[in-house]
Copies of this chain bind each other. A is one copy, B any other.
Amino acid sequence: MKLNERGLLVVISGPSGVGKGTVRRALFQMPHHDLVYSVSMTTRPPRPGEVEGVDYYFVDKETFLQRIKENKFLEWAEFVGNYYGTPRDKVDEQLDKGKEVVLEIEVEGALQVRKQMKEAVFIFLVPPGKKALYERLVSRGTESIDLINRRMKKAESEFLLAHKYDYIVVNDDVNNAADRIMAIIRAEHAKTERTIHNYIKMIGEK
């Protein structure tokens, strides 16, 4: 029996290179969940095989800029000439259906969302230490030492933003981290501020 029927917006963020994507994928592979992934809107043209509404919502620049004006994004950013954003209406639609909408996002975007949506749950995913992060970046094997050092520098400034989040989850093991996030989602649904309304209704009935 669910006292909170509305889904949660779950924002998974954290320093560059911490493994947000890996943890998010592990989360979606867990049994019995009601998670959906938040699909971004973009002005970037679709790549072969990309499906409208699954990979992205594809729109032209004019539409995107108009939506920015109308405050229809929870967050947005421009990246090498293209716009990317999280459409508020699509997120709301899923939350109303009782789905947990998962947003995996960089620190800067997460803090934009925080301003727009107080009731979302903000999770800061962190490595079990700086050394672990460095090793993870190196082991990818795809980036130059110079780029890795720049990423580490960026991560170090992002490390200091943890206090802006509701929860800190250590990504020591990907399944552990996913388990903890699932526990956070269950617990948040039981929070008094989210349940009291329906609880009062329930005890009012004969």
Binding site for B on A (CB under 8 A): 1, 3, 123-124, 126, 128-131, 159, 162-163, 165-170, 172, 179-180, 182-184, 186-188, 190-192, 195-196, 199, 202-203, 205-206
Given the known inter-chain contacts A130-B206, A203-B126, A203-B159, please indicate yes or no for A196 contacting B168, CB distance below 8 A: yes
Q: Nearest residue in B to A122 (C-beta to C-beta)?
A: B192
From B128, B131, B206, contact of A206 by CB (8 A)? B131
Name A203's contact: one of B130, B163, B166, B184 (CB within 8 Å). B130
Distance from A124 Cβ to chain B, minimum over Cβ atoms (Å): 7
Contacts of A190 in B (CB 8 A): 123, 167-169, 180, 183-184
Helix, strand, loop or mixed for chain A's interface? helix
Q: How many copies does the complex hold?
A: 2
Residues on B with C-beta less than 8 A from A170 are: 1, 3
